[in-house]
Structure 1
Amino acid sequence: MGRWEPNAHGRLATAALELYNERGYEQTTVAEIAGRAGLTERTFFRHYADKREVLFAGSGELQELFVRAVADAPESATPIDALAAGLDAVSETFADLREYARRRQNVITANPELKERELIKLASISAALADTLRRRGVAESAASLTAEAGVAVFKVGFERWIVAAEERDMAQLMRESLDELKAVIVGGRGVW
């Protein structure tokens, strides 16, 4: 290896995503990822537990951001409005990551193991949001329903945002998805 270069974590993530898109997740080895990044396998394992975790390394931070924004919403906010604050906060973090998100999602969609890991991540976010809503005084079942609805809105908004032809920002798509859910709940068929 050559002299030390900064940002090993980011270089490994970039190399992994490139290789997963070029060769497929299953066909890519940790050695190949490390080699593409100009690093050793040992360095890879200092940053990631396995090659799957390259794709999910930010999950904890995403959940924490979402939960904190819901918790910090004004006390007067309804549960769904508190959730909207969380969706806004999450959308801000994705602002410059659309192409990365598209490429990451392509890899996940092509692999059943990764799709399962993505569902586990979303279930964890939902559970954390429900706990946060309960701490805000929302009743047990209402907190769970609201959290599940919020994760569904996030998932639908995210999927709309990563479509190649889509140019609107994530926050706008999240709000539209949330508004559509509200319209369906009050008896409409949705707006879109």
Structure 2
Amino acid sequence: MVRWEPGAAGRLREAAMALYAEQGYDGTTVAQIADRAGVTARTFFRYFADKREVLFAGSEELERVIADAVIAAPAEAGPMEAVAAGVLAAGEAFVGRRDFARQRYAVVAATPELREREFIKMASLVEAFRAALQERGVAPGRAVLAAETGITVFRVAFERWVEGAEADLVVVIRETLGELSELTS
């Protein structure tokens, strides 16, 4: 097997998702994932800390996308407008990734250990929102409330999208933001 074959990370993700679908997360080993991807287990560990991280790699990038969009929102934008910009930017990050998102969602939903890790990821995204809002001068308490609301909108929209909404995630996010606006008026 070639040690540094191009596209190894993508092949490892595809192999892991296929194996998780075939035999479940708990029934899948790193060795099986590496074998299916045509690399060694050592190569697997160059890309991922463990088999769980195949599903969560890229979280830091999503945090950065959110924070950058919140900070870049127009100066006159209020906290929720800035949060909306961050949520929409997060949605843009999933363009062309619906199949993977659906597969990942199913694996995470079926595995308690992974659901726990998903909660940790969501808490990190809340923190990204909060820090960016505070950088914009939003008071800490308001920043936390807006951040938690933004993540709730993202999570609700994401679940609708992977569970069958026909529209793109960004459209579903806009609809969910509209529903929130109606609820709070």
TM range (shorter): over 0.9
Distance 1:83 1:2, change over 3 A: closer
Decide whether aligned partners of structure 1 residues 79 and 38 sit closer, same or farther in structure 2, where only a CA change above 3 A counts: same
The share of aligned pairs that are identical, in percent, is 53
TM-score of the superposed pair, with normalisation by structure 2: 0.96
Deviates more, 1:34-43 or 1:83-92: 83-92
- Superposed displacement of residue 138, structure 1: 1.0
Whether the 8 Å contact between 2:34 and 2:40 is mirrored in structure 1 is: yes
Contact 2:3 2:39 in 1 (8 A): no
Aligned residues: 185
In structure 2, the residue matched to 1:88 is 88
Matched residue of 1:94: which SS? Answer: coil
CA distance in 2, matches of 1:160, 1:117: 20
Higher mean alpha-carbon deviation, 167-176 vs 145-154, is at 167-176
Match of 2:171 in 1: 172
CA contact (8 A) 2:62 2:90 kept: yes
Q: CA deviation at 1:5?
A: 3.2
Find the aligned partners of 2:95 and 2:6 in 1 and give their Cα distance: 24
Deviation for aligned residue 1:2: 5.6
Q: How does 1:6-17 map to 2 (within 5 A)?
A: 6-17=6-17
Cα distance between partner residues in 1 of 2:23 and 2:13: 15
What is the identity, as a one-letter code, of the residue corresponding to 1:146? A
Return the alpha-carbon distance in structure 2 between the equivalents of residues 6 and 116 of structure 1: 32
Change (3 A) 1:3 1:120: closer
Give, in angstroms, the shift of residue 117 of structure 1.
0.4
Q: Is the 8 A contact 2:161 2:167 kept in 1?
A: yes
Which consecutive residues of structure 2, in runs of 5 or more, have no partner in the other structure?
A: none
Would you say the 8 A contact 2:3–2:40 is kept in 1? no
1: CA distance, partners of 2:133 / 2:5 = 44
Structure 1 residues without counterparts, runs of 5 or longer: 187-192
- Aligned match of 2:109: 109
- RMSD (CA atoms): 1.2
| TM-superposition CA deviations, 1:25-56 (whole Å, max 9, x none) | 00000000000000100000111100000000
- SS, match of residue 168 in structure 1: coil
CA 1:28–1:143 in 2, change beyond 3 Å: closer, same or farther? Answer: same
Superimposed CA distance per residue, residues 142-179 of structure 1 (whole angstroms, 9 cap, x where no aligned partner):
11000000000000000011123x21111111111111
CA contact (8 A) 2:161 2:172 kept: yes
- The aligned residue for residue 122 of structure 1 is 122
